Amino acid sequence: MLEEAITRIEDLDYESMERAQRRLDNLTKPRGSLGMLEQLAVQMAGITRNPRPKLGKKVSVVMAADHGVVAEGVSAFPQEVTPQMVVNFLNGGAAINVLSRHAGAEVVCVDVGVAVDLDAPGLKVRKVKYGTDNFACGPAMTREEAVRAIEVGIDVAYELIEKGASIFAIGEMGIGNTTPSSAIVALYSGRPLDEVVGRGTGIGEDRVPVKKNAIERGIKINKPDVKDPIDVVSKVGGLEIAGMAGCMLGAASRRIPVVVDGFISSAAALIASKIEPKATNYMIGSHLSQEPGHKIALDLIGLKPLMHLDMRLGEGTGAVLAFNLIEAALRILDEMATFEDAGVSTEIA
Ligand SMILES: O=C(O)c1ccc[n+]([C@@H]2O[C@H](COP(=O)([O-])O)[C@@H](O)[C@H]2O)c1
Ligand SMILES: Cc1cc2nc[nH]c2cc1C
């Protein structure tokens, strides 16, 4: 399934992009004056193979899983918050529910590896494992488990696309998951942990060295091979990180755009981009998280955030806010009058 998805990921459709660009240049505004909205519209044309695309159904996917590395004291919150928040997502009370309602998007929550069984109607139970093992002491999961988690993501993407999804916000919930995300971003960027590791849910400055030490031990003991992204995500990653990477690859293989959320979502995007570089064509950056490693990850992938909101929540909350901007960009492309239509004089020189 993973192989099939990878081989189906194509380049953007340059003809639709050129046509969209030509129309944007003829609309009643100085060329390029709508900045990133214009780039978004052109990218969407290339993704959808349509020079004047419209958004259909919008979906926020929240991949949830637990992390053995929390035993090292790397999070400000206890592990039971992961299942508690999953229940909150299903009851409609979390930030992602509110912002998704605001954006007219549906929320889909997937249990890829929560440490307990949950009896929560509406939850997609695709559990690969009851949380990862502590990667400071050995591999987080086996290679087979990592591939299964990626394939859960691909499968969920296909299922939702089949039901009409036209764009995804890719979010997550997993106490401890800024630690594996930091390991992944440090490995691929080669930057020192001091520049990558942040405070996650809000650990005190005194606890940051504990988090860095767990990552250092994890990298030393597991020796992840950066040339093999599945090795990296299995040894020092997470089940929801693999699941999100899969969702991004699955969507790209069906020419569906994915909006990358915060630090953890960007670590997943980095893994997806290392599995298949063309997948980045289908990715849209949303916001810049307060986690210091987020900018490093986005730069590595080549994504530019649309918003700077000082957020650091996760769940897909930044990504879903970008839906309105993407829709705005498409409406500009479709609805604005051209110079000719409106009888407005064009540039002198
Ligand atoms: O998206 C982000 O940039 C982000 C930054 C910090 C924390 N989070 C969320 O907080 C949790 C991870 O934080 P931590 O401290 O437990 O590693 C996880 O549930 C994430 O959704 C998310
Ligand atoms: C309450 C809470 C909500 C979250 N949502 C995503 N990560 C989270 C972490 C905590 C602690």
CB 89 within 8 A of CB 109: yes
Whether residue 138 is found in the same domain as residue 181 = yes
pLDDT band at 117 (very low <50, low <70, confident <90, very high): very high
Q: What are phi and psi of 167, to 5 degrees?
A: -160, 145
The CATH number of the domain holding residue 49 is 1.10.1610.10
In a domain, 17, yes or no: yes
Catalytic, 216? Answer no
Q: Check pocket membership of 173 for ligand 2, CB cut-off 6 A.
A: yes
Q: Which atom of ligand 2 is nearest to the CA of 314?
A: 6
Residue reference for tokens 């809000």 = 202
pLDDT of 147 above 90: yes
pLDDT of 91 above 90: yes
Number of domains in the chain: 2
In a domain, 16, yes or no: yes
Distance of CA 142 to the CA centre of its chain: 23
User: Taking residues 300-311, what's their average pLDDT?
Assistant: 98
The DSSP H or E segment spanning 105 is strand 105-113
- The per-residue pLDDT for 349 is 79
d(CA 262, CA 200): 11
Whether residue 26 is found in the same domain as residue 157 = no
Percent of the chain scoring above 70 in pLDDT:
100
Q: Encode pLDDT of 231-270 as tens digits.
A: 999 999 999 999 999 999 999 999 999 999 999 999 999 9
Q: Which atom of ligand 1 is nearest to the CA of 70?
A: 16
Percent of the chain scoring above 90 in pLDDT:
99
Whether residue 179 is found in the same domain as residue 215 = yes
Whether residue 32 is found in the same domain as residue 150 = no
Whether residue 305 is found in the same domain as residue 193 = yes
Q: Check pocket membership of 81 for ligand 2, CB cut-off 6 A.
A: yes
HSE at residue 345, side-chain half, CA atoms within 13 A, is: 3
CB 219 within 8 A of CB 236: yes
Residue of 72, 89, 173, 178 to test ligand 1 pocket, by largest number of atoms within 8 Å of CB: 178
Q: How far, in Å, is the centroid of ligand 1 from the Cα of 283? A: 21
- Spot the catalytic one: 315, 327, 335, 347: 315
pLDDT band at 80 (very low <50, low <70, confident <90, very high): very high
* Domain housing 6: 2-53+333-342
In a domain, 228, yes or no: yes
d(CA 97, CA 166): 19
Whether residue 73 is found in the same domain as residue 31 = no
The CATH number of the domain holding residue 218 is 3.40.50.10210
CB 165 within 8 A of CB 57: yes
Whether residue 145 is found in the same domain as residue 214 = yes
Q: How far, in Å, is the centroid of ligand 2 from the Cα of 202? A: 10
Q: What are phi and psi of 61, to 5 degrees?
A: -100, 125
